[in-house]
Amino acid sequence: MGYYKMKKIAFLLIILIVAVAGWGSMIVVYASSSHAASLPPTPTSVPSVPTPHTRTIVDNPATVAPTVKNDVVAQGSSTLPEVALTFDDGPSMYTPQVLNILQENSVHATFFCVGEWVQYYPNYVQQEYSAGNVVANHTWNHPDLTTLSSVDVQTQISRTSTLIQQTIGVQPTLFRPPYGAINDSVKAQAAQMNLTPILWSIDTEDWTRPGSDAIVNAVLSQVGNGDVILMHDGGGDRSQTVAALPRIILGLQQRGLKLVTMPQLIQDMNS
């Protein structure tokens, strides 16, 4: 009788050991799968390209001291029938449309590019240059340079010039301070980097989106020899500017005015 009891107990012990071992395996497996499920997915680093509406630039013009303004290029020769179209705050999704209009009319313009947008749309800047237009410096992210330290001014300008050169293979020679805000210190910084500061004589105020008719009228109602016309291909919704551009070009040509780049305007003025 004792023998059978012992055998039965041994058999039950074996069953118990097997059951405990199996239960332990289930716990391990469950814990592992639960832990794996709770892990966050591996993030995918994909830089998002902002749209022109991400940061709209309110381009209110600054007041510039007459002594400084008179020493900065804002107009060409009053005796030569030529004007310069200039575009600020790009490149953006509107830049290809502007380039197509310029090409269709066989004219060239000067593009004052913001460095952070050159970084996102380098191909548009390359298209500007390859089509015979001039690519110029409009700082890295469009600050009022007169409020910055000399070191920060230099960084804003030099960083942009470096990127432009890397993008098109040519160092820019022209520079437009955002808002037209310039003083003796900013002018000196630009001179150290061999950049000529450029302002304007006609502000279309197209950044306010007054309607394409108003943009056209802002140019054609006051244009004359040597004018530097300020428009925008970036910094916000520029659909009105695109719509106005063909009419502006036609109106200028009908007045016998030749459309040239800023370097050409400066060269003709100096000669």
pLDDT of 120-129, one tens digit each? 999 999 999 9
- Determine the structural domain holding residue 83 and report its residue range: 76-270
In angstroms, rounded to a whole number, what is the distance separating the alpha carbons of residues 97 and 28? 63
CATH number at residue 139: 3.20.20.370
Residue 57 within any structural domain of the chain: no
Active-site residue, from 108, 227, 232, 233: 232
- Chain segment 34-80, per-residue pLDDT in tens: 333 333 333 333 334 555 445 688 888 878 777 777 789 999 999 99
Q: Can 88 be counted among the known catalytic residues?
A: yes
Q: How many domains does the chain have?
A: 1
Active-site residue, from 59, 88, 89, 206: 88
Lowest mean pLDDT among 22-31, 192-201, 233-242: 22-31
- The backbone torsions φ and ψ at residue 6, rounded to the nearest 5 degrees and listed phi first, read -60, -40
- The backbone torsions φ and ψ at residue 209, rounded to the nearest 5 degrees and listed phi first, read 55, 60
Per-residue pLDDT, averaged over 228-242, amounts to: 98
Residue 49 within any structural domain of the chain: no
Q: Can 232 be counted among the known catalytic residues?
A: yes
Residue 156 within any structural domain of the chain: yes
Q: Quick one: CA torsion of 85, 228, 117, 159, rounded to 10 degrees?
A: 130
CA angle (251 as vertex; 137, 236 as ends), nearest 5: 40
Please tell me the predicted confidence (pLDDT) of residue 264: 98
Residue 39 within any structural domain of the chain: no
